[in-house]
Amino acid sequence: MVLVGPQVLPGWLIAIVDLAFLPVLLIAIARPLIATRNTRNLVMLAILAAMFVANLLVHLDVLGVLPGWRRRGCVLGLEVVVLVILVMAGRTFPMFTRNATRVDSIASSQWLDRLSIGAMAFLIALDLFMPTHAITAGWAAGAGGLTLVRTWRWGTRHTWRTPLLWILHVGYLWIPIGLVLRALAAFTSVIPPQIAMHALTVGAIGSLTLGMMARVALGHTGRLLAASPLMVGAFVLITLAAVTRVFGPLVAGMTSYRPTVFLAGSAWTAAFVLFLLACVPILIAPRVDGKPV
Protein backbone atom coordinates (compact mmCIF):
# COMPACT_ATOMS: atom_id res chain seq x y z
CA MET A 1 0.00 0.00 0.00
CA VAL A 2 2.78 2.43 0.93
CA LEU A 3 4.72 1.60 -2.25
CA VAL A 4 1.85 1.99 -4.73
CA GLY A 5 -0.14 4.49 -2.67
CA PRO A 6 1.36 7.77 -3.95
CA GLN A 7 -0.52 7.27 -7.19
CA VAL A 8 -3.97 6.91 -5.62
CA LEU A 9 -3.86 7.74 -1.89
CA PRO A 10 -3.30 11.01 0.01
CA GLY A 11 0.12 11.51 1.58
CA TRP A 12 -1.22 11.80 5.12
CA LEU A 13 -2.86 8.35 4.89
CA ILE A 14 0.35 6.77 3.62
CA ALA A 15 2.24 8.42 6.48
CA ILE A 16 -0.18 7.05 9.09
CA VAL A 17 0.08 3.51 7.74
CA ASP A 18 3.89 3.63 7.53
CA LEU A 19 4.30 5.27 10.93
CA ALA A 20 2.02 2.79 12.73
CA PHE A 21 4.49 -0.11 12.77
CA LEU A 22 7.09 1.17 15.22
CA PRO A 23 4.65 2.28 17.99
CA VAL A 24 2.92 -1.12 17.81
CA LEU A 25 6.30 -2.87 17.98
CA LEU A 26 7.34 -0.66 20.91
CA ILE A 27 4.21 -1.60 22.87
CA ALA A 28 4.68 -5.29 22.08
CA ILE A 29 8.25 -5.20 23.36
CA ALA A 30 7.56 -2.95 26.34
CA ARG A 31 4.95 -5.21 27.93
CA PRO A 32 7.24 -8.24 28.58
CA LEU A 33 10.21 -6.03 29.49
CA ILE A 34 8.21 -4.17 32.14
CA ALA A 35 6.48 -7.33 33.38
CA THR A 36 9.82 -9.09 33.93
CA ARG A 37 11.56 -5.92 35.17
CA ASN A 38 14.17 -6.31 32.45
CA THR A 39 15.61 -2.84 33.00
CA ARG A 40 18.81 -3.58 31.08
CA ASN A 41 16.93 -3.77 27.78
CA LEU A 42 14.59 -0.82 28.35
CA VAL A 43 17.03 1.22 26.26
CA MET A 44 15.57 -0.54 23.23
CA LEU A 45 12.30 1.30 23.81
CA ALA A 46 14.09 4.64 23.53
CA ILE A 47 15.81 3.42 20.37
CA LEU A 48 12.51 2.43 18.77
CA ALA A 49 11.06 5.81 19.75
CA ALA A 50 14.01 7.56 18.07
CA MET A 51 13.48 5.49 14.91
CA PHE A 52 9.84 6.56 14.93
CA VAL A 53 10.89 10.21 15.16
CA ALA A 54 13.30 9.71 12.23
CA ASN A 55 10.54 8.22 10.10
CA LEU A 56 8.15 10.98 11.17
CA LEU A 57 10.60 13.68 10.09
CA VAL A 58 10.83 12.16 6.61
CA HIS A 59 7.05 12.09 6.23
CA LEU A 60 6.65 15.65 7.58
CA ASP A 61 9.12 16.84 4.95
CA VAL A 62 7.24 15.00 2.18
CA LEU A 63 3.96 16.51 3.40
CA GLY A 64 5.48 20.00 3.38
CA VAL A 65 5.24 20.49 7.15
CA LEU A 66 9.02 20.49 7.81
CA PRO A 67 10.72 21.26 4.49
CA GLY A 68 14.37 20.21 4.38
CA TRP A 69 14.17 17.78 7.29
CA ARG A 70 14.05 14.61 5.19
CA ARG A 71 17.81 14.18 5.18
CA ARG A 72 17.99 14.82 8.91
CA GLY A 73 15.42 12.10 9.44
CA CYS A 74 17.39 9.66 7.29
CA VAL A 75 20.65 10.48 9.10
CA LEU A 76 18.89 10.12 12.47
CA GLY A 77 17.58 6.68 11.49
CA LEU A 78 21.01 5.53 10.31
CA GLU A 79 22.82 6.80 13.38
CA VAL A 80 20.30 5.20 15.72
CA VAL A 81 21.05 1.86 14.04
CA VAL A 82 24.76 2.54 14.57
CA LEU A 83 24.01 3.26 18.23
CA VAL A 84 22.25 -0.11 18.49
CA ILE A 85 25.33 -1.77 17.01
CA LEU A 86 27.57 -0.06 19.56
CA VAL A 87 25.40 -1.30 22.43
CA MET A 88 25.11 -4.82 21.04
CA ALA A 89 28.78 -5.12 20.09
CA GLY A 90 30.05 -4.24 23.57
CA ARG A 91 27.78 -6.85 25.12
CA THR A 92 28.53 -9.70 22.75
CA PHE A 93 31.66 -9.37 20.59
CA PRO A 94 34.22 -9.72 23.42
CA MET A 95 32.23 -12.64 24.85
CA PHE A 96 32.00 -14.39 21.48
CA THR A 97 35.71 -13.89 20.89
CA ARG A 98 36.77 -15.00 24.37
CA ASN A 99 34.61 -18.14 24.25
CA ALA A 100 35.88 -19.15 20.80
CA THR A 101 39.58 -18.37 21.28
CA ARG A 102 39.91 -19.23 25.00
CA VAL A 103 41.96 -16.07 25.53
CA ASP A 104 41.01 -15.00 29.04
CA SER A 105 42.40 -11.47 28.67
CA ILE A 106 39.68 -10.55 26.17
CA ALA A 107 37.14 -8.29 27.82
CA SER A 108 35.04 -5.19 27.37
CA SER A 109 35.78 -1.96 29.23
CA GLN A 110 32.55 -0.67 30.75
CA TRP A 111 33.71 2.93 31.02
CA LEU A 112 34.92 2.99 27.41
CA ASP A 113 31.66 1.38 26.33
CA ARG A 114 29.69 4.11 28.10
CA LEU A 115 31.87 6.88 26.71
CA SER A 116 31.58 5.67 23.11
CA ILE A 117 27.83 5.08 23.36
CA GLY A 118 27.34 8.47 25.02
CA ALA A 119 29.46 10.17 22.36
CA MET A 120 27.39 8.57 19.61
CA ALA A 121 24.13 9.57 21.31
CA PHE A 122 25.32 13.19 21.56
CA LEU A 123 26.40 13.11 17.90
CA ILE A 124 22.84 12.13 17.00
CA ALA A 125 21.55 15.21 18.84
CA LEU A 126 24.11 17.46 17.11
CA ASP A 127 23.20 16.04 13.70
CA LEU A 128 19.55 16.69 14.37
CA PHE A 129 19.90 20.36 15.29
CA MET A 130 23.21 21.55 13.79
CA PRO A 131 24.23 19.00 11.14
CA THR A 132 26.59 21.22 9.14
CA HIS A 133 28.42 22.90 12.03
CA ALA A 134 32.16 22.36 12.46
CA ILE A 135 31.57 21.34 16.08
CA THR A 136 29.43 18.43 14.86
CA ALA A 137 32.15 17.28 12.46
CA GLY A 138 34.79 17.48 15.19
CA TRP A 139 32.57 15.53 17.55
CA ALA A 140 32.10 12.85 14.89
CA ALA A 141 35.88 12.42 14.74
CA GLY A 142 36.07 12.13 18.52
CA ALA A 143 33.22 9.62 18.61
CA GLY A 144 34.98 7.61 15.91
CA GLY A 145 38.15 7.55 17.97
CA LEU A 146 36.29 6.33 21.04
CA THR A 147 34.51 3.57 19.12
CA LEU A 148 37.91 2.34 17.98
CA VAL A 149 39.72 2.67 21.31
CA ARG A 150 37.05 0.64 23.12
CA THR A 151 38.07 -2.42 21.06
CA TRP A 152 41.63 -2.53 22.43
CA ARG A 153 40.87 -5.57 24.62
CA TRP A 154 38.40 -7.25 22.27
CA GLY A 155 41.05 -9.62 20.88
CA THR A 156 40.66 -8.70 17.22
CA ARG A 157 44.10 -10.08 16.40
CA HIS A 158 42.97 -13.54 17.53
CA THR A 159 40.02 -13.71 15.12
CA TRP A 160 41.55 -14.04 11.65
CA ARG A 161 41.32 -17.84 11.53
CA THR A 162 37.66 -17.81 12.56
CA PRO A 163 35.37 -16.27 9.91
CA LEU A 164 32.38 -16.02 12.26
CA LEU A 165 34.52 -13.77 14.45
CA TRP A 166 36.50 -11.70 11.98
CA ILE A 167 33.41 -10.65 10.04
CA LEU A 168 32.05 -9.12 13.27
CA HIS A 169 35.27 -7.30 14.06
CA VAL A 170 35.75 -6.09 10.48
CA GLY A 171 32.13 -5.01 10.31
CA TYR A 172 32.48 -3.05 13.54
CA LEU A 173 35.67 -1.38 12.26
CA TRP A 174 33.63 0.37 9.57
CA ILE A 175 31.96 2.47 12.28
CA PRO A 176 35.08 4.42 13.32
CA ILE A 177 36.10 4.59 9.66
CA GLY A 178 32.73 6.06 8.74
CA LEU A 179 32.71 8.58 11.57
CA VAL A 180 36.25 9.78 10.84
CA LEU A 181 35.48 10.05 7.11
CA ARG A 182 32.41 12.07 8.07
CA ALA A 183 34.62 14.55 9.90
CA LEU A 184 37.18 14.72 7.10
CA ALA A 185 34.45 15.35 4.53
CA ALA A 186 33.40 18.45 6.46
CA PHE A 187 36.85 20.01 6.20
CA THR A 188 37.96 18.97 2.71
CA SER A 189 36.28 18.71 -0.68
CA VAL A 190 38.37 15.67 -1.59
CA ILE A 191 36.12 13.33 0.40
CA PRO A 192 32.40 13.41 -0.50
CA PRO A 193 30.13 13.18 2.57
CA GLN A 194 28.31 10.22 1.01
CA ILE A 195 31.46 8.12 1.43
CA ALA A 196 31.06 8.16 5.20
CA MET A 197 27.44 7.02 4.92
CA HIS A 198 28.46 4.10 2.72
CA ALA A 199 31.04 3.03 5.31
CA LEU A 200 28.29 2.85 7.91
CA THR A 201 25.68 1.21 5.66
CA VAL A 202 27.46 -1.07 3.18
CA GLY A 203 30.36 -1.65 5.58
CA ALA A 204 29.09 -1.83 9.14
CA ILE A 205 25.40 -2.69 8.71
CA GLY A 206 25.96 -4.99 5.72
CA SER A 207 28.83 -6.96 7.28
CA LEU A 208 27.29 -7.26 10.73
CA THR A 209 23.91 -8.28 9.31
CA LEU A 210 25.50 -11.23 7.52
CA GLY A 211 27.78 -12.10 10.43
CA MET A 212 25.05 -12.13 13.05
CA MET A 213 22.51 -13.92 10.84
CA ALA A 214 25.04 -16.66 10.09
CA ARG A 215 25.85 -17.09 13.76
CA VAL A 216 22.20 -17.22 14.77
CA ALA A 217 21.29 -19.62 11.94
CA LEU A 218 23.96 -22.06 13.06
CA GLY A 219 23.50 -21.73 16.81
CA HIS A 220 19.70 -21.87 16.82
CA THR A 221 19.63 -25.01 14.69
CA GLY A 222 21.99 -26.91 16.98
CA ARG A 223 24.98 -26.75 14.65
CA LEU A 224 28.60 -26.02 15.44
CA LEU A 225 29.57 -22.37 15.19
CA ALA A 226 31.74 -22.89 12.12
CA ALA A 227 31.18 -21.02 8.87
CA SER A 228 30.75 -23.08 5.70
CA PRO A 229 32.74 -22.18 2.55
CA LEU A 230 29.64 -20.44 1.17
CA MET A 231 29.36 -18.31 4.30
CA VAL A 232 33.04 -17.42 4.14
CA GLY A 233 32.58 -16.43 0.50
CA ALA A 234 29.68 -14.18 1.52
CA PHE A 235 31.81 -12.54 4.22
CA VAL A 236 34.65 -11.89 1.78
CA LEU A 237 32.32 -10.48 -0.86
CA ILE A 238 30.49 -8.13 1.52
CA THR A 239 33.86 -6.83 2.69
CA LEU A 240 35.01 -6.30 -0.90
CA ALA A 241 31.74 -4.52 -1.63
CA ALA A 242 32.31 -2.13 1.26
CA VAL A 243 35.95 -1.45 0.36
CA THR A 244 35.03 -0.82 -3.27
CA ARG A 245 32.05 1.40 -2.47
CA VAL A 246 33.89 3.51 0.10
CA PHE A 247 37.42 3.76 -1.27
CA GLY A 248 36.87 3.02 -4.97
CA PRO A 249 35.80 6.56 -5.94
CA LEU A 250 38.63 8.04 -3.87
CA VAL A 251 41.34 5.87 -5.44
CA ALA A 252 40.05 5.63 -9.01
CA GLY A 253 38.62 9.15 -9.10
CA MET A 254 35.05 10.32 -9.52
CA THR A 255 35.29 9.62 -13.27
CA SER A 256 35.21 5.93 -12.33
CA TYR A 257 32.20 6.38 -10.06
CA ARG A 258 29.79 4.23 -12.08
CA PRO A 259 32.16 1.24 -12.47
CA THR A 260 32.96 1.21 -8.75
CA VAL A 261 29.27 1.39 -7.86
CA PHE A 262 28.56 -1.49 -10.26
CA LEU A 263 31.36 -3.61 -8.80
CA ALA A 264 30.31 -2.88 -5.23
CA GLY A 265 26.66 -3.64 -6.00
CA SER A 266 27.58 -6.88 -7.74
CA ALA A 267 29.71 -8.03 -4.82
CA TRP A 268 26.95 -7.05 -2.37
CA THR A 269 24.33 -9.02 -4.31
CA ALA A 270 26.60 -12.03 -4.70
CA ALA A 271 27.32 -12.00 -0.96
CA PHE A 272 23.64 -12.27 -0.06
CA VAL A 273 23.04 -14.92 -2.75
CA LEU A 274 25.80 -17.06 -1.24
CA PHE A 275 24.37 -16.47 2.21
CA LEU A 276 20.95 -17.67 1.07
CA LEU A 277 22.47 -20.77 -0.52
CA ALA A 278 24.28 -21.51 2.74
CA CYS A 279 21.48 -20.79 5.19
CA VAL A 280 18.20 -21.77 3.53
CA PRO A 281 18.96 -25.52 3.77
CA ILE A 282 19.91 -25.02 7.43
CA LEU A 283 16.78 -23.09 8.32
CA ILE A 284 14.26 -25.40 6.61
CA ALA A 285 15.79 -28.60 8.03
CA PRO A 286 15.17 -29.98 11.54
CA ARG A 287 17.64 -29.12 14.28
CA VAL A 288 20.57 -31.53 14.14
CA ASP A 289 20.43 -32.14 17.89
CA GLY A 290 16.78 -33.24 17.77
CA LYS A 291 15.54 -30.41 20.00
CA PRO A 292 12.44 -28.41 19.07
CA VAL A 293 13.05 -25.19 17.13
Distance CA 75, CA 54 (A): 8
Buried b (16+ CB within 10 A) or exposed e, 217-248: bbeebeeeeebbebbbbbbbbbbbbbbbbbbb
- Same domain, yes or no, for 7 and 56? yes
Same domain assignment for residues 259 and 162: yes
CA distance 199 to 189: 18
The DSSP string of 102-134 is --TT----HHHHHHHHHHHHHHHHHHHH-TT-H
Q: Quick check: 3 pLDDT over 60?
A: no
- Res 181 pLDDT > 60: yes
Same domain, yes or no: 100 and 140: yes
Give the domain CATH number at 219.
1.20.210.10
Q: Do residue 43 and residue 180 come from a single domain?
A: no
Q: Is the pLDDT of residue 1 over 50?
A: no
pLDDT at 37: 87
What SS3 class is residue 291? coil
The verdict on residue 114 lying in a domain is: yes
152 closest CA partner among 192, 113, 123, 187: 113
**By percentage, how much of the chain surpasses pLDDT 90?**
76
| pLDDT digits 0-9 by tens, 209-257 | 999 999 999 998 999 999 999 999 999 999 999 999 999 888 877 667 8
Q: Summarize the confidence of residues 58-85 as an average pLDDT.
A: 93
Does some domain include residue 293? no
Q: Give the range with max mean pLDDT: 52-61, 181-190, 279-288.
A: 52-61
Residue 292 covered by a domain: no
Which pLDDT score is estimated for 7?
65
Among 18, 41, 68, identify where a domain stops.
68
- 144 and 267 part of one domain: yes
Find the domain containing 9 and state its range.
Answer: 1-68
Would residue 291 count as lying in a domain? no
Verify that 163 and 186 share a domain, yes or no.
Answer: yes
Q: Which of 51, 68, 85 is the C-terminal boundary of a domain?
A: 68
**Per-residue confidence band for 293, with pLDDT thresholds at 50, 70 and 90:** low
Q: Does one domain contain both 120 and 170?
A: yes
pLDDT tens-digit readout, 254-275: 667 888 999 999 999 999 999 9
Structure confidence by residue, pLDDT tens digits, 95-133: 999 999 999 999 999 999 999 999 999 999 999 999 889
Number of domains in the chain: 2
Boundary-marking domain end, from 35, 53, 68: 68
Assigned domain for 216 exists: yes
Same domain? 64 vs 77: no
For residues 235 and 248, state if they share a domain. yes
> Does some domain include residue 21?
yes
Using pLDDT thresholds of 50, 70 and 90, give the confidence band for residue 188.
confident
* Pair (97, 129) in one structural domain: yes
* pLDDT confidence band for 193 (50 / 70 / 90): confident
